[in-house]
Chains A and B, each alone.
Chain A
Amino acid sequence: GAGVSQSPRYKVAKRGQDVALRCDPISGHVSLFWYQQALGQGPEFLTYFQNEAQLDKSGLPSDRFFAERPEGSVSTLKIQRTQQEDSAVYLCASNIGGSINEQFFGPGTRLTVL
């Protein structure tokens, strides 16, 4: 079946602009994660949903970052008033639930803030 998809694949924003990044998880996957990957680094956790409930948002770097998953499927990560330090690849992952189960990653959205 289809894997995790993300859109857009690339986004260029001017500093101060708002952006919205979309994630379509694998159908039926309960858990959804967002990670941020800066150049030359490993992914860093941003937030986690179980169905529509956001159970952990401890990794969101500031109140400019907001994520939602209103119907327990598609998720959107929104960044307000983008800054240059927000430039990174934003990865979405999903799994069927449970810490021992594989997280399936999408291709990521590469955000460049000018």
Chain B
Amino acid sequence: AQSVSQHNHHVILSEAASLELGCNYSYGGTVNLFWYVQYPGQHLQLLLKYFSGDPLVKGIKGFEAEFIKSKFSFNLRKPSVQWSDTAEYFCAVNAGRDSSYKLIFGSGTRLLVRP
């Protein structure tokens, strides 16, 4: 069965620090990869996605992620975090050929950015 692992459950950073959140998935076939974010009191919303092409994907608010197929990884990065990036971040995958298109989520990483 497909699964997604997020290595860090809680991350605390100071403003302007660099961020990298790990995500690994288990599925040998074609996959689509997503990072969703949930700001306090808000809905889950899409940060970025990868489905083909350039493995370095840029999303909203200065976030980017790199798909490394050989490592089954899709780590999220931001060079300089802001206090407003405080949120919970979820990595998700669906199998590109799975007709149900369901998302398999990791357990999430809570990021706290200190001013």
Contact = CB atoms under 8 A, between A and B. Distances in A.
Contacts of B107: 40-42
B43 interface: yes
Given A40-B107, A42-B107, A55 B43 contact: no
Main SS at interface, chain A? loop
Interface residues of B, number: 27
B98 A99 contact: yes
Given A33-B102, A56-B102, A99-B96, A107 B43 contact: yes
Contacts of B106: 42
A73 interface: no
B102 A59 contact: yes
A51 to B, nearest CB: 14
B103 interface: yes
A48 B100 contact: yes
A91 B92 CA distance: 15
A42 B102 contact: no
A105 B43 contact: yes
A3 interface: yes
Interface of A: 3-4, 31, 33, 35, 40-45, 48, 55-56, 58-59, 91, 93, 95, 98-100, 102-103, 105-108
12 contacts: A3-B43, A40-B108, A41-B107, A55-B99, A59-B102, A93-B44, A99-B32, A99-B96, A99-B98, A102-B34, A105-B44, A105-B45
